[in-house]
């Protein structure tokens, strides 16, 4: 449970940092760049590993899987994806109230 609460905080931190980084140019009036996606972030930091992952997924399964994965997960704005992951981890790591049931 503590691990899920830590992941909640980590995902929320990523969501806030990404939101600030995406909105800063818009609010400063210097332009309207597209929102940061995992695909754009991965391409910027390690394009070789992105191509390796694409080749691996294509070799292990159908290339259609990479297309669906890319459309479904990799092109979603990072702020939305990390917020959803934070909600799921927070729900999973929430402390449950213990209910004592006594039968007389």
The model's pLDDT over 37-77, given as tens digits with 9 standing for 90+, comes to 988 999 999 999 999 998 898 889 888 888 888 778 888 99
What is this structure's pTM?
Answer: 0.76
Nearest to 91 by CA among 6, 8, 2, 3: 8
Residue 103 has pLDDT above 80, yes or no: no
The model's pLDDT over 6-40, given as tens digits with 9 standing for 90+, comes to 999 999 999 999 999 999 988 888 878 888 998 89
Nearest to 41 by CA among 10, 77, 7: 77
């Amino acid at each position: 449970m503590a691990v899920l609460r830590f992941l909640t905080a980590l995902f929320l931190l990523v969501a806030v940092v990404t939101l600030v980084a995406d909105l800063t140019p818009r609010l400063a009036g210097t332009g309207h760049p597209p929102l940061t996606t995992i695909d754009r972030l991965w391409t910027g930091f390690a394009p070789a590993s992105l191509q390796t992952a694409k080749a691996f997924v294509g070799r292990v399964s159908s290339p259609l899987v990479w297309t669906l994965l890319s459309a479904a997960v990799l092109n979603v704005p990072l702020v939305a994806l990390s917020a959803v992951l934070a909600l799921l981890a927070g729900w999973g790591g929430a402390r449950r109230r213990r209910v004592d049931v006594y039968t007389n």
